[in-house]
Amino acid sequence: MKSRAALLYGEGQEFRVEEIEVDDPKQNEVLVHLAATGLCHSDYHMVTGEYGPLHFPMIGGHEGAGVVEKVGPGVTRVSPGDHVLLTFIPACGHCRFCSMGLSFLCDRGAAILQGPQLDGTFRMHTADGQDAGQFCCISTFSEYTVVPEASIVPIDKDLDLTKVCIVGCCVPTGFGSAVNRADVQPGETVVIFGIGGVGINAVQERTGLLFSDGMQTTGSPAEPVAAAFPQLHVVATARSPESLARCRRLADLGRGRCAAAGSISEIPAAVNSCLAA
C-alpha cells in the first residue's frame, strides 16, 4: 500500500517527505495506521551521525499511536480496529529480563537501529525500489507502518491518540529519570535542564512527589509551563551568570538531585557552574 513518510537519505541531510510502498505484515507483525507521532531529539541523532553507521534511507520516528489496520499470521494480542501505542524497544514479555521488569534489556531490542524488521527483511520501500530502514522497527514518521507485535501496547479507544503517542518515549523517560534513576524524594529540590517532552514529565504533578522547589532552565518561553506547575521556578537560560546564581540560591545541589536533562548542549557547562559555588 502507499504511504507518505519522512525519509533520511544520509547523515547531515534533511528529512524528505515522500510517497513510499508499505508491505503487508508478516509473521507476528501488525500494520498500523498512525494517528499521531512525537518528535524526539533521538531522531535528530540520525542526522548528526551520533548513532554510527545506519541503513539509509531510514524512516524516522520512534513514538506514536494509531489504529490496527491489519495483522499478520501468529498475532494474538490485537485485531483490526484496536487502538495501540507503539514502543521503541520490542519486548517479548516472557524472557528473563522482561519477567524482571527490565523489558528494555529484551534481546529483541538488540538490533533496533539496524533498519530491517526482526526477521532481517524490510517492509518499507522507496518509490524507486530501495529498501527503507525502519527506525526502532516502528518508523512513526509514516502514515502507515508495519511493526512487531512485541512493539505494541493495546490501549482503550477513548484515549486521545494525539496525546498518548508520546507515552512511547518521553513520558516514561522523564518520569523514570526522576522517580527511578534520581530517586527523588518528597521535599527535595530538583534542578531540570530543559523543559521539553522529557523535562516536563520529570516535574509533572502526577508523579505524586512533593517538591519543595522545582526549577527548570531553558532557552524557550516557559510561562505557560510555570502557570501549570506553580512549584516551578523558571530560569531563562542556563548560560546566564544571573540564572546560575539563582540556581545555586534556590536549589542547594548538595542536598538535591539532578533529575532530568532536556537540553543536552547546555548540561555540562550548567552543571559545572551550578556546582562551583
Residue carrying C-alpha cell 517527505:
17
The active-site residue, picked from 169, 170, 258, 274, is 169
Which are the contacts of 145, defined by CB distance < 8 A and separation ≥ 6?
3, 22, 31, 32, 34, 59, 64, 86, 124, 134, 138, 139
Active site residue 45: yes
Is 136 designated active site?
no
The question of whether 42 is a catalytic residue gets the answer: yes
62: nearest Cα among 34, 30, 39? 39
**Catalytically annotated residue among 3, 42, 151, 243:** 42
Please state, in angstroms and rounded to a whole number, the distance separating the CA atoms of residues 274 and 253: 8
From 3, 62, 139, 142, active-site residue:
62
Handedness of CA 143, 145, 149, 152 (dihedral sign): negative
One of 40, 136, 137, 247 is an active-site residue; which one?
40
**What is the 3 state secondary structure string of 107-160?**
HHHCCCCCCCCCCCCCCEECCCCCEEEEHHHCCCCECEEEEEHHHEEEECCCCC
Active site residue 62: yes
71 and 30 in contact (C-beta within 8 Å)?
A: yes
Q: Is 41 a catalytic residue?
A: no
The residue from 33, 41, 45, 233 that is catalytic is 45
Q: Which residues have a catalytic role annotated?
A: 40, 42, 45, 62, 169
